């Protein structure tokens, strides 16, 4: 694994840390490839239930490494997109733990995650227009789906930032916590998720993500494609049995 991306796995929870503090964790091609490898491992290893993505040295990510960009490098992985995940996020849940700046591509990485825990000092924005660029890694297409349309438009056109409290008010982040504690809070949230049935978690994420494009007439029929097998699974029986026996369930993922 690239030393600029550190990966640890503990109790079924993967933690991926972007480790380029001198560059405010800006994304290079090598970093993108390393994150893509981590996402592949997350989805392929049944022992890993979900992942947390964060940045070192109290900064989440300042976006694309502009010095590398000027030299002709594009930090995109084919099939995965910017940062190795923006076009194709993992199938399993991914939590962003944000300290400091989540700007430009950094915000787009967070937008590709399923949950966001932000420190009170976090700043969010897509300032690409200030550099003659556009937020092509999801900022212009995901942000209007996650916050009100006109606020997304304002952020894109002005390039200005919002703080963590404003992001929480807009529904962009799930938790706002004391500076320095976003990762620990994300781990606590991850442990809560990891205690649930893996099949149910995967299917629930898929339905929530994909149903945004379903018509009203097909909502329940399309949903049933993913959820009917869950109701017939061994884990569903185990969950009900464990509840009746007042014990923790022993999930098998089948």
| 4-48 pLDDT tens trace | 999 999 999 999 999 999 999 999 999 999 999 999 999 999 999
- pLDDT over 80 at 2, yes or no: no
Collapsing DSSP to helix, strand or coil, 152 comes out as helix
Nearest C-alpha neighbor of 50 from the set 94, 10, 80, 87:
94
Distance CA 46, CA 143 (A): 31
Confidence of residue 60 (pLDDT cuts 50, 70, 90): very high
In a domain, 138, yes or no: yes
> At 84, is the pLDDT very low, low, confident or very high (cuts 50, 70, 90)?
very high
| Per-residue pLDDT reduced to its tens digit, 130-161 | 999 999 999 999 999 999 999 999 999 999 99
**Residue 66, exposed/middle/buried by CB under 10 A (0-12, 13-18, 19+)?**
middle
CB–CB of 120/113 below 8 Å?
Answer: no
Same domain, 109 and 208: no
Residues with Cβ < 8 Å from 254, sequence gap 6 or more?
199, 233, 234, 235
161/208 same-domain check = no
Q: Which of 108, 120, 210, 218 is catalytic?
A: 108
On the question of pLDDT at 175 being above 70, the answer is: yes
Q: Please indicate, yes or no, if residue 250 is contained in any of the structural domains.
A: no
The pLDDT value recorded for residue 33 is: 97
In the DSSP assignment, the letter for residue 175 is E
170 close to 147: Cβ distance less than 8 angstroms: yes
Q: How do residues 64-80 score in pLDDT, each as one tens digit? A: 998 888 898 889 999 99
Same domain, yes or no, for 203 and 178?
no
Residue 176 pLDDT > 90, yes or no? yes
Question: Residue 254 domain-assigned?
Answer: no
26 belongs to a structural domain: yes
Q: Are residues 31 and 153 in the same domain?
A: yes
Give the CATH number of the domain where residue 78 resides.
3.90.226.10
Question: Residue 1 above 50 pLDDT?
Answer: no
* CA 190/CA 232 separation, integer angstroms: 26
Residue at 150 is within a domain? yes
Q: Active site residue: 4, 33, 99, 128, which one? A: 128
Same domain, 146 and 209: no
Residues 25 and 54 in one domain: yes
Structure confidence at residue 69 (pLDDT): 87
Task: Tell me how far apart the alpha carbons of residues 66 and 105 are, in angstroms, rounded to a whole number.
Answer: 11
C-alpha–C-alpha distance, residues 120 and 133, integer Å: 28
Alpha-carbon span 104 to 135, nearest angstrom: 7
Do 109 and 45 share a domain, yes or no? Answer: yes
Q: Choose among 124, 74, 83, 119: nearest CA to 103.
A: 124
What is the C-alpha separation between 180 and 241, in angstroms, rounded? 40
- The number of distinct structural domains making up the chain is 2
Q: Are residues 75 and 155 in the same domain?
A: yes
67 and 144 housed in the same domain: yes
Query: Above pLDDT 90, what percent of the chain?
Result: 94
Mean pLDDT of 179-201: 97
Cα(98)–Cα(226) distance, rounded to whole angstroms? 32
**Same domain membership, residue 182 and residue 202:** no
The residue range of the domain holding 205 is: 198-244
Same domain, 37 and 75: yes
Residue 128 a catalytic site member: yes
Is residue 184 annotated as a catalytic residue, yes or no?
A: no
Are 93 and 141 in contact by the 8 Å Cβ rule? The answer is no
- More confident position, 254 or 166: 166
% of the chain at pLDDT higher than 70: 99
Residue 136 and residue 13 share a domain: yes
Q: Is 253 within a domain?
A: no
Last residue of a domain, one of 175, 194, 213: 194
135 assigned to some structural domain: yes
27 within some domain: yes
């Amino acid at each position: 694994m690239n030393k600029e991306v550190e990966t640890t796995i503990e109790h079924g929870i993967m933690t991926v840390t972007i480790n380029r503090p001198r560059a405010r964790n800006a994304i290079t091609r090598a970093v993108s490839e390393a994150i893509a490898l981590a996402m592949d491992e997350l989805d392929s290893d049944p022992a890993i239930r979900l992942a947390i993505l964060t940045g070192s040295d109290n900064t989440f990510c300042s976006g694309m490494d502009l010095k590398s960009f000027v030299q002709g490098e594009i930090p995109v992985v084919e099939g995965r997109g910017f940062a190795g995940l923006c076009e194709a996020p993992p199938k399993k849940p991914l939590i962003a733990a944000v300290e400091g700046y989540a700007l430009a591509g950094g915000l787009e990485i967070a937008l590709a995650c399923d949950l966001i825990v932000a420190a009170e000092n976090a700043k969010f924005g897509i300032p690409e227009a200030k550099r003659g660029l556009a937020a092509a890694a999801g900022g212009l297409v995901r942000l209007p789906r996650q916050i009100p349309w006109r606020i997304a438009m304002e952020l894109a056109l002005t390039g200005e930032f919002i703080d963590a409290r404003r992001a929480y008010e807009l529904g962009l982040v799930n938790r706002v916590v004391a500076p320095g504690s976003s990762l620990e809070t994300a781990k606590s949230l991850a442990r809560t998720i990891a205690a649930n049935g893996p099949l149910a978690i995967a299917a629930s994420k898929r339905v929530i993500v994909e149903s945004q494009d379903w018509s009203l007439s097909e909502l329940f029929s399309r949903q049933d494609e993913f959820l009917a097998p869950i109701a017939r699974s061994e884990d569903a029986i185990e969950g009900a049995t464990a509840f009746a026996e007042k014990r923790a369930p022993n999930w098998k993922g089948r």
